[in-house]
Amino acid sequence: MGDLKEKKLKNAGHLNFAMLNDEILENVAFDTARQFFTICDRDSKGYLLKGDMQRLRESGLCNLSIEELEMVFDSLDEDHNGILTMEEFIFGFGEFVKSTHPEMVELTENEGEQASSQQLQCITNTDEDVVEREKFQTFLRQIGAEDLFSDENTEQLWQILRNDNPNVLNKFEAFLKNLSSEMKSVRDKMCATTQGKREDLNRLYTDVEQQIKQETERCLKNEQEKMQKLQWSLENEIESKNLQLQELSEKFSMAQTKMENMEYDKEKSREKDTLAEQKQNLEMQLCKQKDESEELMKYLNKVQKEIREERKRRAKAALTVNDEAVVEREELIKQLNALRAENMRLLDELDENTNMSQAASLSASPCASTSHLRPLRETTALHVRMNFYKLTEPINIGTPDRVFKVVVAGDSGVGKTCFLDRLCNNRFNPGIRSTIGIDFHMKILKVEDQLIALQLWDTAGQERFRSITKQYFRKADAVILMFDLVSVSSFTSVLEEDCVVCIIGNKTDLVQEGKQAVKIYKEDFSPETDGESLYFETSAKSGDSVHAAMYQLALVLKDVSSRRDEKLICLQKSTDKPKSKCCSRTNV
């Protein structure tokens, strides 16, 4: 059993040794073939031509002639296409190494058993392996190939030959030495070639980069020129398109204008037809209205004639009133003379009774207040002013269209005379004397388009002249009832008449100075008659609202007179129309 086991082990060792030798030879052959292929393929084409084999001879790696190298190339080129790839070259070169070193093959075939036994012996003795490995490394350092044969197969082969066949070992060491020197030379040449290739590549890269840069610049320049030309062409095209667009817009506007004109003409034609129909209707209406207008013109001429006659009548009446005023003035002068005589008699009696109490004498006399008697004593004649046409406007302003009688009434001292003086003369006299009897003023105002003459009758406000004042209310168109804004008694004494009533609260300047004014309620002076009523607050001292009040009064008088005229015209029209109808019937 032991012999059989040992025999099997030897056979296995022999087989392993043979396989190991084959692997070592193949590895060495393949490494050498790769180096030779790199030397021959300097251009890095990936294949070899027949002329590339001469580089082995030029590099000194082999002593073969050119013909022999060509024969080697033909033997390796099995497909006879004139090209050797890396696989074909490496495989063929391995066969070439085996054929050129038959001793290696013979060694591996004849000494199989010894190698197997020696291998077993090396495996069992590890210490000897370490020593043998150091010796092999020393040998590699001696020949300078420690970096070339670092695989274990070469080391094991060297140890087997050293132990079993020293003669073959010398040849193997010589082979390794020659192979290492060849490999070094090939490596040096390859490094030099690589360095040269690298320098060539660097120069090539530089040249290529320069060419690329130049080509890029040239391309950019060409592209810029093309873009410039394209831009110019596009601008020209856009300009032409704009011109075309402008022409089209002009044509469109012209067409639109034509369409509008056509629509306008159609509309005008329709309007013309409509207007023609309306014209016919209007002509028919015009014929009717002409007949009516002729009748109205006749009636209007008649009314205008009546109005002119009425104006003449009122003007004559105003002159008649002035004549009556003169007669009344004479009567008043007589009455005032009698009053003066009575006043002188009373003053004489007052002087005789100086020992009596002044209060008792004053209470017994008909005129109790000396403040009323003193002005009468100083009066040497009867002052009755009759300024019928005392105007602020020029006299040649024209003939008044209408004349209205306005009576100014109120308590004494409320400022009636100052009010009229401000109105007519535009002045204020604080020392003006009280009115005795009656005073006359004339004020002409332009109201809208007519001249209005106001006959202003300034009446006395004393209690003893009340009977005289009421006589002038007859035929008065308006009454101005004036009171003092700071006197309650003057407000309660205002009168109500069946005419246009204008209530004026005078002396607003005293109210502005801080004196308490009269509280006025609308119910206090609302007229119960159908007449008009006005209310104003004025100041004769400052002239505030004086002219405005009289203008409004004149305007109201004008409106009242116009309404009366219209009533008269309507009355006449109502009386005339039945006659015309009767006449028309008779004519028919």
Answer yes or no: is 407 within a domain.
Answer: yes
The two structure tokens encoding residue 557: 């008088």
pLDDT of residue 42: 78
| CATH number where 44 lies | 1.10.238.10
What DSSP letter does each residue of 397-424 carry, written as one string?
A: G---SEEEEEEEEE-TTSSHHHHHHHHH
522 belongs to a structural domain: yes
Question: Which pLDDT belongs to residue 126?
Answer: 56
pLDDT of residue 355: 45
Domain-located, residue 262:
no
279, part of any domain = no
End-to-end, the C-alpha distance of the chain in Å comes to 182
- Assess if residue 287 is contained within a domain: no
Last residue of a domain, which of 129, 148, 164?
A: 164
Q: Exposed, middle or buried by CB within 10 Å (0-12, 13-18, 19+), for 261?
A: exposed
- Decide which of 164, 189, 217 is a domain's last residue: 164
pLDDT in the model for residue 225: 92
Residue 138 lies in a domain: yes
Domain housing 531: 383-559
Q: Could you say which of 164, 183, 215 is where a domain stops?
A: 164
**Residue 339: inside a domain:** no
- Which residues of the chain have a pLDDT value below 50? 1-18, 20, 101-117, 119-125, 355, 357-396, 465, 495-497, 521-523, 526-531, 577-588
192-195 long-range Cβ contacts below 8 angstroms, 24+ apart: 193/39, 193/42
- The whole-number pLDDT of residue 324 equals 66
| pLDDT computed for residue 244 by the predictor | 92
Sequence-separated (6 or more) residues with CB below 8 Å from residue 132:
122, 159, 162
**Residue 543: per-residue pLDDT:** 85
| Beta-carbon contacts of residue 530 (< 8 Å; ≥ 6 apart) | 498
Rounded Cα–Cα distance for residues 44 and 38 (Å): 8
44 part of a folded domain: yes
Q: How many domains does the chain have?
A: 2
CA–CA distances in Å: residue 514 to residues 494, 527, 550: 24, 31, 27
- The CATH number of residue 446's host domain is 3.40.50.300
**pTM, entire model:** 0.30
> Which tokens go with 330?
């004479």
